[in-house]
Chain A
């Protein structure tokens, strides 16, 4: 986030409740992007690219493909920026939802999963958070999240990690964890509920 630029000079025109955002005003950048403001979009890119590229890379694994997917994500964000509605959730959540789904859909296409499997034949039974990027270890947010994960049971944590960071379907998660079919989705939901309660995440 060191590259983030000063927040929008464009005063928020809508909901007063939203003005109290901490960090860069991503919602404002999205609104300006929707009007075709490329410099606002560049600010948005600078403020979010580490998070988006990092997640995509985590799921997709192949760096070249991850760049492709990331580019696709930002193109989608640009095209659909007018559809972002701050009343329904935070801008970062909206962005990450697009990024996650695009990455997951890509790895599920056959060619992509073959390439990923070739590159990482041995990966994934256990997702190791310590393998992640240097920056993540020091960020306060990452420490908070890591701590919150400790509140999950081992089973919930594995299910959530495989689904979110591994990009697996609940059926695949069940099979990877030797769970009866149908159990994984409950684990995922219970784990996320606990994570939400521990983090106190705003929607």
Chain B
């Protein structure tokens, strides 16, 4: 394998790669047993350093942790149980690099979606394109799909509409009144699955407050679509609370 990539093992072991390097190195890991072994060893060495920062947490934390888990079901093992899996499990890289569940605070998404009083399920939209239109963009195709449904969310002058089609298995987010992302940051889109894990679904770059994006990935397993503000280049999992969440019916 490329010597360049091989040299990233140390930085990867201490989480010192930026987000793009991390994902490309994780892809490399699935194919390179030598790097996998090295990363495991270097992680073991690095984690020995944590013995230098041994601090007792407040007693109240124990109570919060233990009451927090009581409502959460442990995930099933990733293993050779084909009937359990609908999506291909990235077993190899996941076990090596225990990617923290993408959704850090599962309940915050669900709660945000539930609490979004302004969310309106628009139901099946009128299909505006009954005649074949050769030059439709992917977004227009979704919006015009026979089974297209829309969800709208309004918050502090920002309006967002998610149009999705089960048939096309895609969704499009349209926003207005959205300020540009802060310097060095970007709006990142997420599909939140039934497993409460948020998966990256692309980016949204508003111009003059307006923006539209066709989400990457499949809407079929999603229960919600969220938007977070992430460092430019994006994150592999949300690092901040969502600014918008729309439940997908």
A contacts, CB < 8 Å to B:
33-36, 38, 41-42, 45-46, 49-51, 53-55, 57-58, 67, 70-76, 78-85, 88-90, 92-94, 96-102, 104-106, 108-112, 129, 132-133, 135-136, 139, 141-142, 145-146, 148-149, 160-161, 163-165, 167-171, 173, 184-186, 188-193, 195-196, 199, 201-203
Contacts and interface: CB of A to CB of B under 8 A. Distances in A.
Contact of B56 (A53, A90, A96, A97): A53
Nearest to A188: B10
Nearest to B40: A203
Contacts of B40: 88-89, 93, 203
Given A168-B16, A170-B17, A136 B52 contact: yes
Contacts of B96: 88
Interface of B: 7-11, 13-18, 37, 40-58, 61-62, 64-66, 68-70, 72-78, 94-101, 104-105, 182, 184-185, 229-231, 235, 237, 239-240
B149 to A, nearest CB: 30
Contacts of B14: 100, 160, 163-164, 188, 192
Interface of A is mostly: helix
B57 A50 contact: yes
B44 A93 contact: yes
B15 A101 contact: yes
Contacts of A35: 74
Contact of A133 (B9, B55, B66, B100): B55
B95 A135 contact: no
Contacts of B13: 192
A98 B52 contact: no
B50 to A, nearest CB: 4
A198 B46 CA distance: 12
A92 B47 contact: yes
A94 B45 contact: no
B44 A132 contact: no
A145 B66 contact: no
Contacts of A139: 51, 54
Contact of B78 (A83, A90, A93, A196): A83
Contacts of B50: 51, 54-55, 58, 96, 99-100
A20 B134 CA distance: 68
A80 B75 contact: yes
Contacts of A189: 7, 9-11, 42
B61 A53 contact: yes
User: Which residue, of B54, B65, B230, has the highest number of chain A Cβ atoms within 10 A?
Assistant: B54
Contact of A193 (B42, B73, B105): B42
Contact of A185 (B8, B49, B77, B101): B8
B47 A97 contact: yes
Contact of B10 (A54, A74, A191): A191
A71 B96 CA distance: 22
Contacts of B94: 83
3 closest A-B pairs by beta carbon, nearest first, are A189-B10, A109-B239, A53-B57
A165 B49 CA distance: 8
A165 B50 CA distance: 8
Contacts of A195: 45-46, 48-49
A28 to B, nearest CB: 15
Given A98-B98, A145-B48, A36 B73 contact: yes
A157 B184 CA distance: 30
12 contacts: A34-B74, A50-B56, A71-B61, A72-B104, A75-B68, A79-B101, A83-B94, A111-B240, A129-B52, A170-B17, A199-B48, A203-B40
Given A76-B100, A163-B11, A51 B77 contact: no
A142 B10 contact: no
A72 B106 CA distance: 10
A72 B47 contact: no
B104 A81 contact: no
Contacts of A72: 104-105
